[in-house]
Structure 1
Amino acid sequence: MHTWSDTLRFAFQPVVNLTTGVVAGLETLARPETGDILAEARRDPELDRGLAVSAIRAAVRKESLLPLHVNVFAGTLADLGGLPRLDGAVRESGRMPWEITLDIVPPYTHVPHQALLAAVAALREQGFRISADGVGDGDVPLRLLIDMAPDLVKLDASLLVRSPAVRAMRTLCDEMGALLCVEGVETELQYAAAISAGAQLAQGELFAPPSRLAAAEVYVPPRRPGGGAAPRSGPPVREFVRPAALLPATASAGQVRMILTGSPEVSGVLLIDGRGVPVRSVHRSRFLLSMSGRYGHALYADRPAFKLGDPPRTVGVDATAWEVLDVLAVGDRSRAADDVAVVDRHGRCVGVVRLADLVRALAESRVEEAAGLNPLTRLPGSDAITGEVDRRIADGRTFALSWLDVDHFKQVNDGAGFAAGDDLIRAVGRTLQDTASGSTRVGHIGGDDFLVLADPEGLDPMASSVLDAPWSAAGRPVTLSLATVLCTPGSVTDHREAAACLAPLKQAAKSLRGASWVLGRAGLPGHEVRRGAEPAAAPARWAVAEPGRA
């Protein structure tokens, strides 16, 4: 008697890392030869669970070392309280749960949310990664999405025409600690839009169609200059994670050699303990050099690979690219090019990052940043500051945004000459830079206008440094005006609203005599004058009688 498994085949579609251009995983897609088994699985939780197990076993038969994405209906998880016996099936296949991402697909309507959340928590405890599929085009409630706190959120490419919505989803993903993936990318225009909107992963026909053979290489269009600039604090390491080649700590040197010789793209193997924690790192070149020496194979093939490895270098999944470089800079210089293992909060390996990927991305970000520097002061322009303002708003941080300029600067240029004016601007910029500390950011937005983004406790030192200094241009005394708006969480929605709050404060500061400083609070009326004197009363106008009139 034939069963559904007799006519079922699986295809694999790559999930592509948009930063590195490499395959980050494979989504397994059921391809029945007859009938609509997916419609049946939607109604039958046990059938859906069986499909998930079959998908994992199918990938093993293809001998793919890449992480897997396996689809499962939200209703199945709620009905079964998770996926019973999946953990055992995964380990029997030679995999680990943290190599499997469960794509939870709609519908969510009529699914008991508490039962679903309990099932997700149980699967996450076993080590499985969780993906929310069909977000934005399905029926997943926003509150449920936040409560699920998935590791990955998948959006349909049709939403790219609404790029502000996709960027908002990227912000939400950052808050949840999730990656954003765009599905169904078919054109280079969609690819560019996905990068511009901040997506880190993508899949679709553009890169590679679903195939019976797991693809390790895909087509990735060339990146356009200026796309996806990283924040100055460093792009998150999650954007550079590659799949790791993992073996148990008890693996022999012969097993490691089989992986390295059979997969040229693998630069090293991580040996992990039963919990998935890296305990040894085996580097390709050093390992194969040891094995290729005289009697090397005879000496090492059956011995534990552990003896030919090095202590692993690890970083947390929330680290930045700069922190990875700090890890590589410490210790033996011969290991500077080793892969760095990325671990989750439990210490389990979720992938590796390579030095070449980090250096390339950081170099590109520095070039883009340099292109935006003001040529006079070498300070960043408004885009860098406003971008950081938006990040602090998204993070729910209190901050102070200040606008500083030179009083009557046109008169300075007209009276002392533009060279003296340029010298003054450079001196003000240097003073602001010298005073900046911690998270303070200084920008030169053109002419004599500067922006300063700081924490509230950094305001007084900054104000004193620029307002108390005896400024002059070619011997002519000069004063400065400073306006500050203090923004608390929820008081502004973006940098445009913060700038709108700042504009009237600047006008108030410019109306005062001498060095001035006006402080206001976003969302509240009025302002506080911290420096400066009220303008003198205008002289009275006396009427003069015209000749011939009384």
Structure 2
Amino acid sequence: MNVMLVAMDVEAAELCRIMAEGLLYPVFQPIMDFRVRAILGYEALIRGPADSALHRPDQLFAAAARSGVALDLEHACREASLRAFAAQRLAGRLFLNVTPGCLLDHKMMNGHTRALLAELGITPNRIVIELTENQQITDLPGIHEALLHYRGRGFQIAIDDLGEGFANLRMWSELRPEFVKIDKHFVHGIADDRIKFHFVRAMQDLAEICNASLVAEGIERGDDFTCIRDMGIACGQGFFIARPETHPVRVLPAGIVAALGQQRLSLSPMMGGMPTARTLLRPIAPVPEDATNAMVIDRFEADPELDVLPVVHEGQPIGMINRHSMIDRFARPFRKELFGRKPCEMFMDHAPLVVDQHATIQELALMLALAPKHYLFDGFIVTGDGSYLGVGSSHDLMATITEMQISAARYANPLTQLPGNVPINEHIDRMLTAGSSFVAAYVDIDNFKPYNDAFGYRRGDDVIQTLGRLIGDIADERQDFVGHIGGDDFFVIFQSADWEMRCWQLVSAFAEAMNALLSPEERAHGGYMAENRRGELSFQVLPTLSVGVVRIGPGDFESHREVAAAASVAKKQAKKKSRDPASESLGGSVFVERRRPASGEGMNVLARALN
């Protein structure tokens, strides 16, 4: 027993020495934003001295708990992380791990943190309080009050791994954090595990409803990175992207940039190609970080059209200065005399929105929609391989989106508002040019004309609109393109891996929808009485779906005409299959062409014959 007490005393003394001498040091792991292909910020992870038994964080905090100084250690870690972050002038946000107990501690609420941030020149909107799950919340009203206190001062909130602690669905719904971190258990192996995939997909749906950004932690494999990227998860973190370092990377590694470049094609074709951040770029000459405030004021006064000035360090953007904010500050008495010769970084936004030149318009729009309001006025900085290229404005972004919407409406089907033939053909050609693998599905309604003739065009239009909505429901809006050829013909370009299941879901959902449109008597008989084409009264079966599917790999086809011809052949086979009595119980049919496609010339001959 005495030996144990002696060991605990030694451990406590070592812990006190480490805190007293300031020997704690943080390492920073980058968190990347998939939407704009840039580093969002860094998570601070604490370490003890390398030659100490308390080097690892689990050993540090276990010793602190045994010694009764856990809160003191946590405050020391927070200060060490903030000082190191400021000393390195790291860009973006800082994610600070905080336990619920520390969040409620008077030392967090007594103004010390605010004073420290002011001393270091870090604005609160750059700090994300990451609530860790190693404690359960016992005082939920107190947590709510504390969060209101910090949010009122500009801080943002993140909850850590979705696991056994407080970071569960109930707490997510009640705390409403800006960021939610997915536990690495669900991320590791997600590319090969359908259960994990659907768990994360459910989390993603909740995040959209709650207006939160998901961060996938523990990305260690290239396949998982690709899967997370293609799912549309907002942010990622893990060894595959970058390891925690004392001096972390400031731009995405070349391998990650290359992996991002292999992203699946956007779903919104546009004449001349999909606009990116580069198309919105204005090459404004930046100012260096050591430029004085007086120099910045002179730049603004010399150019009335200049709304923002980016600040760079060795070619990399580190901040943004807003014209109106700067001039307002210096309009006050003696401000020019007091601050004119000081470096401009004291008044710049240290966490501007920085995006890669290849970020799409859709990614930019989504990012701005979720970002703090001041980004709408400041715009965004555009980079290439991490180096400054220019500035983009929200006004130009909105104008481009409006132009895209007008273009989309011009070619949309008037009944369903889905993209018509021109956008469908453009998207197929873009997929073929990029060498992407995809699945083309031709969807057609069987027995539609008798129904339309018997019940009138209005009921017929209802059926077509219902089918359009059902296709939109089964398709993944992030990966799958839905088009309306005309009449009762639709075309779907799948990139979803589970496309075949989605096709059968569509067939089943359409059968249920048709059932709901009939009277109980007609449903009991499985159809209705109506005149056939010869004017004779006869029994008519309900409309059903035929779906013809063609799987397309790189180099299989040369143009949208060949793809359309192959899909038409598959649709005809699906219609033949639907006449089989065995298909009646299924309410429709799906035919998948599993043979290799014909040669390009053969498909051209077939396309001409079908036309």
With the length of structure 2 as denominator, give the TM-score of the two structures: 0.49
Match of 1:449 in 2: 488
Letter in 1 for 2:159: A
Give the superposition deviation at 1:263.
3.8
Cα distance between partner residues in 1 of 2:223 and 2:448: 47
Q: Contact 2:312 / 2:318 at 8 angstroms: preserved in 1?
A: no
How do 1:131-530 residues align onto structure 2 when only pairs under 5 Å count?
Answer: 131-136=158-163, 138-160=165-187, 161=190, 162-219=196-253, 220=256, 221-223=258-260, 227=264, 229=266, 251-253=293-295, 260=311, 262-266=313-317, 269-271=320-322, 302=341, 321=361, 344=372, 352=380, 354=382, 377-378=421-422, 407=448, 444=483, 449-450=488-489, 500-506=508-514, 518=517
Give the structure 2 partner of residue 99 of structure 1: 126
- Distance in 1, matches of 2:318 and 2:368, equals 11
Cα separation, partners in 2 of 1:2 and 1:497, compared to 1, 3 Å: same
Residue 377 of structure 1 aligns with an amino acid whose one-letter code is: N
Q: Which residue of 2 aligns with 1:295?
A: none
Q: Deviations over 1:352-397 (max 9, x none)?
A: 354789999x99xx9xx9xxx999934659x99xxxxxxxxxxxxx
- Report the counterpart of residue 2 of structure 1 in structure 2: 17
Q: Residue 231 and residue 152 in structure 1: after superposition, are their counterparts in 2 closer, same or farther (change >3 A)?
A: farther
Higher RCO (C-alpha under 8 Å, 6+ residues apart): 2
Q: How far did residue 404 of structure 1 move?
A: 6.4
- In the alignment, the residues of structure 1 paired with residue 92 and residue 119 of structure 2 have an alpha-carbon distance, to the nearest angstrom, of 17
Secondary structure of 1:101 counterpart: strand
- Paired residue type of 2:36: T
| Cα displacement string for residues 463-499 of structure 1 (whole angstroms, at most 9, x for unaligned residues) | xxxxxxxxxxxxxxxxxxxxxxxxxxxxxxx998786
CA distance in 1, matches of 2:371, 2:287: 14
TM-score normalised by length of structure 1: 0.54
Pairwise CA distance, 1:75: 2.5
Give the alignment partner of residue 530 of structure 2, picking from 524, 529, 535.
535
Instruction: Choose between structure 1 and 2: higher helix proportion.
Output: 2
- How many Å separate the matches in 2 of 1:136 and 1:496? 34
* Aligned partner letter, 2:130: D
Identity of aligned residues (%): 19
Distance 1:90 1:322, change over 3 A: same
1:229-248: CA deviation from partner (whole Å, max 9, x where unpaired) = 5679999x9xx9xxx9999x
Say yes or no: does 1:29 pair with 2:71.
Answer: no
Q: Is the 8 A contact 1:75 1:107 kept in 2?
A: no
Encode CA deviations 1:144-184: one digit per residue, 9 max, x unaligned. 11111111111133303301111111111111111111112
Alpha-carbon separation, structure 1, partners of 2:538 and 2:227: 61
What letter corresponds to residue 502 of structure 1 in structure 2? F
1:407–1:261 Cα change, 3 Å:
closer
d(CA) in 2 for partners of 1:539 and 1:58?
83
The structure-2 alpha-carbon separation of the partners of 1:246 and 1:89, relative to structure 1 and needing over 3 Å to count, comes to farther
CA distance in 2, matches of 1:231, 1:356: 21
Unaligned runs of 5+ in 1: 282-299, 315-319, 326-338, 385-401, 410-427, 453-493, 509-517, 541-550
1:6 maps to amino acid: G
The SS at the match of 2:78 is helix
Equivalent residues, number: 382
Change in Cα spacing, 1:376 to 1:133, as seen in structure 2 (3 Å) is: closer
Cα deviation, 1:271-316, whole Å, max 9, x if unaligned, reads 499xxxx5679xxxxxxxxxxxxxxxxxx9849979x99xxx99xx
Alignment correspondent of 1:39: 62
Question: Which 5+ residue runs of structure 2 have no aligned equivalent?
Answer: 1-15, 191-195, 281-285, 300-308, 329-338, 354-359, 383-390, 429-442, 451-460, 492-501, 540-611
Q: Distance in 1 between matches of 2:145 and 2:288?
A: 29
Deviations 1:81-117 (A, max 9, x none): 9554212211211010001111111124253222222
CA contact under 8 A between 1:343 and 1:351: conserved in structure 2?
no
Cα distance change, pair 245–37 in 1 and its aligned pair in 2 (3 A): farther
